[in-house]
Amino acid sequence: MKICIIGLGLIGGSIAIDLRKRGFTNYIIGVDSNKLHLQTALNIGLIDHATDLEEAIHTSELIILAIPANETIRILPGILDRIEHQFVTDTCSIKGNICERIKYHSKRSNFVASHPMAGTENSGPWAAQSGLYDGKAVIFCDVEDSDEKALKLVKEMYDLLNMRPLFM
């Protein structure tokens, strides 16, 4: 499965390491507004291909937003506008504004609101680490608004990261 990770810092980078290591994906496309982070992620093997958002959306089966909430709110509607059958999830700790922003979007069901409860004080692709998510909780919100297949796929992803699902 080809996945795209938008945001290649601690959270996105750690997801990349373990999803590859644990067999969820064999190809990771990376997008980051910080060109140094993008190049570093490519150089250290977190991602297989660095590109822009447009290409990433059209060549991925799953799009993971590992960026701040304000950026997620800004770009998520445009991502949903461009996808066909792909699924999208995020890693933000706040959900109200994000879910409200796309509440009436025609592709709202392709989005799974999730928050993996893990992290450290470090940032950037250099901080990415295997096992960051092991044994931690992941919170799913507004699952009744997500497509059953989308929820199944995203839950499988977090299961491979050894996370405990909680539903709100």
Looking at per-residue confidence, does 127 or 119 come out higher? 127
Q: Which two tokens stand for residue 118?
A: 């893990």
Query: Mean pLDDT across the chain, nearest whole number?
Result: 96
The pLDDT of residue 8 is above 90 = yes
Helices (H) and strands (E) in the chain, counts: 6, 8
Give the per-residue pLDDT at 120: 85
Nearest Cα residue to 30 out of 154, 125, 112 = 125
* Residues 80-121: tens digit of each pLDDT: 999 999 999 999 999 899 999 999 999 999 999 999 999 888
Q: How far apart are the first and last CA of the chain?
A: 28
Domain ranges of the chain: 2-167
* Residues 10-62: tens digit of each pLDDT: 999 999 999 999 999 999 999 999 999 999 999 999 999 999 999 999 999 99
Report the CATH fold assignment for 2-167.
Rossmann fold (3.40.50)
Residue 151 makes CB contacts below 8 A (sequence gap 6+) with 112, 140, 143
CA distance 84 to 138: 26
Q: At what angle do helices 10-21 and 148-160 cross, to 10 degrees?
A: 90
131: left (phi over 0), alpha (psi -120 to 50) or beta: left
Determine the distance from the C-alpha atom of residue 110 to the mean position of all C-alpha atoms in its chain, rounded to a whole number.
13
